Amino acid sequence: MSEEPIISEELEGLLNVEFGPEVYEIEKSMVRKFAGAIDDPNPLWQQVAPPTFPAALVPTRLLHKLLNAECPLNRILNGASELEYYQPIKVGDVISVTAKLEKLRKMEGKEGATLFMIMEVAYKNQKGEVVARGKNTYIRY
């Protein structure tokens, strides 16, 4: 009996394929709710989003494919999130989010096989300017 591979053809087929753009119109209520969720009452967040706001603009198409891809490892963790913030996101901006799976890395640990899935995300405003870049690591184990 052969063992199912950790990195399936389905996952491998996602490597370096750009997904998106997924478009988010930034509304005052979105920014206000986010500021409340991070417990930051700064009045600046009435018209400008906090620097960590891009993390709420999820690249859902790629993420859905990653989390539902064929893989014998059924448990999933958000291993790390990095965000480089270049310029403010303002109420009224239209942010386009694109993402790609940059790397798959299989490792053996004490508990067995572990798969690291590293995704790059770019956030651009309506002028085509990059406002932020992100890197997310998801772990299947």
Report the distance separating Cα 54 and Cα 95, nearest Å: 9
Task: Kindly state whether residue 98 falls inside one of the protein's structural domains.
Answer: yes
CB atoms within 10 A of CB 66: 23
Query: For 39-53, what is the mean pLDDT?
Result: 95
Domain range spanning residue 23?
9-140
Task: Kindly state whether residue 119 falls inside one of the protein's structural domains.
Answer: yes
Task: Kindly state whether residue 4 falls inside one of the protein's structural domains.
Answer: no
Residue 103 exposure: Cα atoms within 13 Å on the Cβ side: 8
Task: Kindly state whether residue 40 falls inside one of the protein's structural domains.
Answer: yes
- Name residue 78's amino acid: N
Task: Kindly state whether residue 1 falls inside one of the protein's structural domains.
Answer: no
Task: Identify the CATH number of the domain in which residue 40 sits.
Answer: 3.10.129.10
Report the distance separating Cα 94 and Cα 116, nearest Å: 31
Report the distance separating Cα 66 and Cα 62, nearest Å: 6
Tens of pLDDT, residue by residue over 5-44, are 999 999 999 999 999 999 999 999 999 999 999 999 999 9
Read off the pLDDT band of 1 (50, 70, 90): very low
Task: Kindly state whether residue 3 falls inside one of the protein's structural domains.
Answer: no
Tens of pLDDT, residue by residue over 79-136, are 999 999 999 999 999 999 999 999 999 999 888 999 999 999 999 999 999 999 999 9
Two tokens, residue 81: 């999130």
- Name residue 16's amino acid: N
- Identify the bridge partners of residue 132 per DSSP, sorted by sequence position: 85, 123
Kindly report the CA angle at 97 between 117 and 120, in degrees rounded to 5? 25
Task: Kindly state whether residue 2 falls inside one of the protein's structural domains.
Answer: no
Task: Kindly state whether residue 29 falls inside one of the protein's structural domains.
Answer: yes
Number of domains in the chain: 1
